[in-house]
Amino acid sequence: MSELLNFNYPPEPATDRVTLFADVILPLPLPKLYTYRIPFEMNDEVMVGVRVIVQFGGKRVLSCIVADIHENAPADYQAKYILDVLDDKPIVTAPQLKLFKWIADYYMCTLGEVINAALPAALKLSSESRIQLHPHYNPEEDELILAAQEEKIIFALQNNQALTFTEVSTLLQGKPYHKYIKSLIQKEAIIIFEQVSEKFSPKVVKKVRLTEHFVQEEGMLEELFNQLTPQPKQLDVLLNYLQLVPVHQDIHLNYKGIEKGALVNNPHLSASSINTLIKKGVLEQFDQVVSRFPMDKEPQQLPMALSEHQLQAKDEILGLFKEKDTVLLHGVTGSGKTEVYIDLIKHALEGGGQVLYLLPEIALTAQIVTRLMKVFGDKLGVYHSKFSDNERAEVWQGILAGRFQVVVGVRSSVFLPFHDLSLVIIDEEHEASYKQYDPAPRYNARETALVMANLQGTKTLLGSATPSIESYYNCKTGRWGLVSMTKRFGQAQLPEIELINVRDEQHRKNMHSHFSGKLLGAIEARLQRNEQVILFQNRRGYAPFISCDECSWIPKCKFCAVSLSYHKYNNELRCHYCGYHERMPHDCPACGATSLKSMGFGTEKVEDELKLMLPNAEVQRMDLDTTKKKNSYQQIISDFESGRTNVLVGTQMVTKGLDFENVSLVGILNADTIINFPDYRAHERAYQLFVQVSGRAGRKSKPGAVLIQTRDPKQPIFTKVSNNDYQSLYDHEIEERLRFGYPPFTRMIRLTVKHNDEPTAENAAIVLAKDLTDRLGKPQVLGPEVPYIFKIRNLFLQEIHIKLPRETTNLKAAKHQVAQAVFNLRLLPDFKSVRVVVDVDPM
């Protein structure tokens, strides 16, 4: 159109070009956006959502996201120019930017922090300082007086174009190098420059094919044969190539060629004869960018018939979606919720669009991915923390390009660039791990996903066997729809739960260390029947602390107000809060006695003792310490699945998503620490935990048993777990929440004041609490109080809780008041260095 109109006119004069400015989101915790000027020649390239490179400060060069484009020149400062544009189309979509703004607002953090958490590291880029020889300096001729270390650096620079500081450090074997660099700059021997590097590198395979010359004309191949006959090795390569790529049948096959590796896989073909052929111009080598996620997986449309109950649930959900945006699927463990999800995803995809399937980290296992892969093939994207940066970036780009229609992922997948969502599924919606605790953004992926669905006009299905009180309340009030599945799939029955009174067993001398005779007997019985056992202990390490028998000395962390846990496998005392560790002392540093005893017990001790008591059992432990390595988690699972191990001992990790046919017994070693946690959610969490672990017992036809060791079997929670009576848990909890003003009747904000000086932390917290009380009213502000663990990483902590009544509070205004109070606090000279962490909806 414009071309036609312009046809008769001279080109527009340069002075008429508009001067545009871009507000960018820097990946830093800065409270506002920064405005840069767009160079004229980039006017068309700069768009909202693309990455641009800018200089920030005197030295740093950063990539950031364009959030807005306008013509308003900043009045009080000179805007710097955008240096470069990295993308030809937005990598952050408009709905995403909206969502990011919501996250920053709601969770009281900066947009930069959100962007930082959202973008896979491979899509961020930063500058790195490098040094190179000064253009006017010639080491051969100019004679400078250089220190030995400086000589070394100059010598290295003569052989390399440039060096990073890290490389200089290695060159000087880690000795301080800054002063040499400084001195070399002064002597004008080197200069520093910044280099921006794109981190994402596509995966490339080396391929070979026949040069065009030999395929274009008839008879060329035969001639080639004759020519190569004296070199049998090269002839073999050619024959092998033609066998794998039948060019004589279809010339076009040659274009795609074959992976160089595939051609050498034949043992008597060597890379050198291939290389000779390349040199001769018979073959040519080329690179091809390939996906890290193989594309050739066709969905296998397995005939997957839903059971009657599943069908019914599905129909109910679809029915409710007609009037509600959100539905909660409350299905007992083993009721087959996953099949219902899969069916609904298929249904949603028929109408086009994308589906997000959220799972907590520990429930996103290879088991579920394989299952989904079978149904959705290469349309499925997986987003997991164990993935490399490049893999994450590829999922991101794949969603933008429309390659992935279904994404199964963890918490951070709510940041992915969906632009056309048609369904969101949040499985295990009660899971606390959907909430990010540190660092900011302290967001809850469940709430965020709900907002995202809302922004994109999409339905959301939440699922759980043990819904959070808040979610169930939403159903009760009619805001959400509720669908229940009360039957286990197939003939599977809910397990029988039995309580073991540890106090009684102790009196009867029936305890063998931390195992009751009953539990040991039950384990042995399963082993004899060749069945498997899962044991749950909610504490890793060998013992939570050790103590001297003579003087009662207990080793504490130097930096945190906690005792050090004993880890036997590396004979270490370790702090679970800051990671500090030291060797286990041989004798008591306080009194010299050699009677250090471990107190309490963790998974490591359970594993250790069980191996002693049941020498025939193959025991494996699964906790943070045994699953740190990349594939160790998978290894443990597959060992258990194949029956190589009989008993699996673990923390939270064993409670989720694992379906093992052969597990007929689940043991909970110490139920009391879970129930008696000082927190308003303790009972809810205990119930969820017990029901989830119990759900691991007895799938398919074998009835399972659950043995719970406790000192307080009268706890009403056990009856509720035994009877699978969620309703009564809910009724009890919701009443307490109402009475004491907890969520869902209030919204909570937790402020943590931190300072390395204890009185400063305390005084700051008092001042802050006072200001908050003035702003929000007395009953809304609780504290300050010293948390149970009052010092972490050498910072003293104080906590203030704010409870905002849900019905009557203007949330936005209240949060503004909170932000003001925090801001004002840090204006006071005494509290300049006080840190305040704001956590909205803490868990």
Q: Would you tell me which residues interact with DNA (CB under 7 A)?
A: 28-30, 32, 34-37, 55-60, 74, 77-80, 126, 129, 176, 179, 832-833
Pairwise CA distance, residues 484 & 218, whole Å: 71
Q: CA 634 to CA 637: how far, in whole Å? A: 5
268 touches 344 (CB < 8 A) = no
Cβ at position 511, least distance to DNA in Å: 50
φ, ψ for residue 309 (rounded to 5)?
-65, -40
Least Å from the CB of residue 303 to DNA: 53
Q: Measured from the CB of residue 560, what is the shortest distance to DNA in angstroms?
A: 19
Q: How far is the CB of 199 from DNA (least distance, A)?
A: 15
Determine if residue 475 is labeled as part of a ligand binding site.
no
Instruction: Give the containing element (helix H, strand E) for 643.
Output: none
Nearest residue to 692 (alpha-carbon basis) of 329, 363, 425: 363
Q: What is residue 80's three-state secondary structure? A: coil
Q: Is-contact 63 36, C-beta < 8 A?
A: no
Q: Which is nearer to DNA, 58 or 678 (CB)?
A: 58
Crossing angle between the packed helical segments 94-106 and 111-118, to the nearest 10 degrees? 120
> CB-wise, 35 or 307, nearer to DNA?
35
**501 Cα distance to chain centroid:** 39
Cα separation, 652 vs 710, whole angstroms: 18
Looking at the Cβ atoms of 86 and 311, the one nearer to DNA is 86
What minimum distance in Å lies between the beta carbon of 304 and DNA? 48
Min dist CB 193 to DNA, Å, is: 13
CB of 417 to DNA, least distance (A): 24
Q: Which is nearer to DNA, 36 or 687 (CB)?
A: 36
Q: Which is nearer to DNA, 504 or 830 (CB)?
A: 830
CA distances from 518 to 98, 498, 514, 637 (A): 57, 10, 12, 27
**Is 109 known as a binding-site position?**
no
Structure tokens at 564: 């050090």
3-state secondary structure of 723: coil
**What contacts 22, CB < 8 A, 6 or more positions away?**
35, 36, 37, 38, 46, 52, 66, 68, 69, 82
Comparison of 27 and 555: residue with beta carbon closer to DNA? 27
CB of 79 to DNA, least distance (A): 4
Judge whether 64 is annotated as a binding position: no
- Residue 90, preceding peptide bond in cis (omega within 30° of 0): no
Token pair of 438 as six digits = 């540190």
Task: Mention every residue, 6+ apart, whose C-beta is less than 8 A from residue 606.
Answer: 514, 535, 537, 621, 649, 669
C-alpha span between 434 and 246 (Å, rounded): 53
Cα distance between residue 324 and residue 459, in whole Å: 8
Q: Which CB, 192 or 244, lies closer to DNA?
A: 192
| Residue 591 assigned ligand-binding role | yes
For residues 425 and 450, is the Cβ–Cβ distance under 8 A? Answer: no
Looking at the Cβ atoms of 182 and 507, the one nearer to DNA is 182
Beta carbon nearer to DNA, 56 or 404: 56
Alpha helices in 160-231 (DSSP H): 165-171, 178-186, 212-216, 220-228
Nearer to DNA, 100 or 376 (CB): 100
In the complex, minimum distance from the CB of residue 35 to DNA, in angstroms, rounded to a whole number = 4
For CA atoms 236, 239, 244, 245, give the dihedral sign.
positive
In this structure, what DSSP letter does residue 787 have? -
Closest separation between CB of residue 505 and DNA, Å? 52
Cis peptide leading into residue 744 (ω within 30°): yes
Q: Which parts are annotated binding residues for Zn(2+)?
A: 548, 551, 557, 560, 575, 578, 588, 591
